[in-house]
């Protein structure tokens, strides 16, 4: 089995992903926390309702995303803080929840379980919306419910149509905006008349049919740093838990909480920072390599193998 990659002379309306760095101010950060929490709240409320409905009668018809969206209006009246969120983001939550239930019902292998409740302790927070985002200068974007937010660059958004956007808060404490855009005139590469086959290996990342080898990316430095901070984080968090239990057992008037200890939280951010550096450099290496191959060859044949199975062999 081979996967064939071909260059096409004419391509229109291509979807592309763009990721930008966001620099929200303190007020906008508080608003983002509210919006993250609102998405989590709607997910848990809808999921609890669907679980109870499924337990009471498994023969009831499946609730689609449009019926769930109809329930958002009374839910906003009962919980007015939901109005602080972009209305399209709550509809996307219902869309994701509906798709999760469909995957559960359509799975015949039993590997996909029922959707789970979302926890506020999850480090990577995000919400997705479908509203219109406007550019305002070279470094600012107008995002619904947030206003004008400073960003890294907006020149890459020229001649694009934003289909969907996602605001993310990484464990490192950095905010990002992930965009799904539609490009009417994508970048075209000139034809070279060359063909090549690629063999994926373990020692080397890729071996071409013409003899060229591309080594695997070496991220051992940042991975070692991440392991060191992982141990520090686990040890500091464990000691903080012991002190919290000690205060509870002694029945202290003002017992300390786990969040009051900042030492393990600093270690957690340092660990996430080195993990993100290793992942970003590996992603950048792969992106540059694949772009180079696509520019050099018109036809690329890749052997369809799983590297995990290759690693099992001695």
Same domain, residue pair 245 and 120 = no
- CA distances to 100, 113, 206, 223, 282 from 279, rounded to whole Å, are 27, 29, 19, 10, 5
Overall domain count for the chain: 2
Q: Determine the Cα–Cα distance for residues 40 and 237; give it in Å rounded to an integer.
A: 25
Asked if residue 287 and residue 265 are part of one domain, the reply reads: yes
pLDDT of residue 310: 62
The answer on pLDDT for 92 being more than 90 is yes
- Whether 137 maps to a domain, the answer reads yes
DSSP 227: H
User: Does residue 252 surpass a pLDDT of 80?
Assistant: no
Q: Give residue 206's domain range.
A: 192-314
Helix (H, G, I), strand (E, B) or coil at 250: coil
Domain check: are 137 and 198 in the same one? no
Average pLDDT of the residues in 51-57: 85
CA dist list (Å): 266 to 113, 176, 228, 270: 35, 21, 13, 6
Q: Are residues 61 and 152 in the same domain?
A: yes
Residue where one domain finishes, among candidates 135, 152, 183: 183
Task: Clarify whether residues 236 and 179 are in a common domain.
Answer: no
Higher pLDDT, residue 114 or 30: 30
Question: What would the DSSP string read from start to end of 44-106?
Answer: HHHHHHHHHHHHH-TTSPPP-HHHHHHTHHHHHHH-GGGGGS-HHHHHHHHHHHHHHHHHHHH
Each residue of 119-169: pLDDT tens digit?
Answer: 888 878 999 998 888 888 888 999 999 999 999 888 888 888 888 999 999
pLDDT at residue number 178: 92
Shared domain for 216 and 268, answered yes or no, is yes
- Which DSSP symbol is given to 212? -
**Residue 56 domain-assigned?**
yes
48 and 114, same domain (yes or no): yes
Q: Which of 123, 157, 183 is the last residue of a domain?
A: 183
104 with 221, same domain?
A: no
Q: Is residue 149 part of a domain?
A: yes
Say whether both 205 and 227 belong to one domain: yes
Closest C-alpha to 10, from 184, 193, 182 = 184
**pLDDT tens-digit readout, 139-152:** 899 999 999 999 98
163 shares its domain with 249:
no
Query: Has residue 306 been placed in a domain?
Result: yes
Per-residue pLDDT, 309: 66
Reduced to 3 states (helix: H, G, I; strand: E, B; else coil), residue 208 is strand
161, 187 contact by CB (below 8 A): no
Query: Is residue 24 domain-resident?
Result: yes
Rounded mean pLDDT of 38-53? 92
Query: Is the same domain home to 100 and 142?
Result: yes
Digit-coded pLDDT (tens) for 279-306:
999 999 999 998 889 888 889 888 776 6
Span 168-204, pLDDT tens digits? 999 888 999 999 888 877 677 888 888 888 887 777 8
What is the average pLDDT score of the chain?
Answer: 86
Query: Quick check: is 8 in a domain?
Result: no
Distance CA 96, CA 76 (A): 19
Indicate whether 138 and 258 sit together in one domain. no
């Amino acid at each position: 089995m081979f996967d064939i990659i071909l260059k096409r002379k004419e391509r229109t309306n291509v979807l592309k992903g763009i990721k930008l760095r966001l620099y929200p101010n303190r007020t906008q950060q508080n608003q983002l926390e509210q919006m993250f929490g609102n998405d989590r709240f709607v997910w848990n409320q809808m999921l609890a309702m669907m679980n109870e409905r499924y337990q009471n009668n498994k023969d009831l018809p499946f609730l689609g995303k449009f019926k769930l969206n109809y329930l958002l209006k009374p839910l906003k009246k009962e919980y007015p803080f939901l109005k602080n969120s972009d209305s399209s983001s709550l509809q996307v939550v219902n869309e994701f929840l509906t798709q999760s239930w469909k995957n559960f019902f359509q799975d015949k292998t039993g590997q996909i379980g029922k959707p789970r409740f979302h926890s506020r302790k999850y480090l990577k927070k995000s919400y997705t919306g479908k509203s219109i985002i406007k550019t305002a200068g070279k470094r600012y974007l107008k995002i619904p419910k947030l206003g004008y937010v400073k960003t890294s660059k907006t020149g890459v958004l020229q001649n694009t149509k934003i289909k969907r956007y996602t605001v993310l808060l990484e464990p490192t404490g950095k905010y990002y905006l992930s965009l799904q855009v539609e490009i009417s005139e994508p970048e075209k590469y000139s034809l070279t008349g060359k063909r090549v086959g690629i063999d994926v290996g373990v020692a080397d990342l890729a071996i071409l049919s013409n003899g060229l080898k591309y080594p695997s990316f070496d991220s051992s430095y940042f991975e070692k740093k991440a392991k060191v901070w992982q141990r520090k984080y686990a040890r500091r968090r464990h000691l903080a838990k012991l002190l919290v239990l000690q205060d509870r057992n002694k029945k202290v008037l003002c017992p300390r909480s786990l969040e009051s200890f900042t030492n393990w939280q600093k270690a957690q951010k340092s660990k996430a920072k080195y993990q993100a550096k290793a992942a970003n450099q590996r992603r950048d290496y792969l992106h540059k390599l694949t772009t180079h191959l696509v520019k050099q060859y018109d036809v690329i044949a890749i052997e369809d193998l799983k590297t995990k199975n290759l690693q099992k062999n001695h």
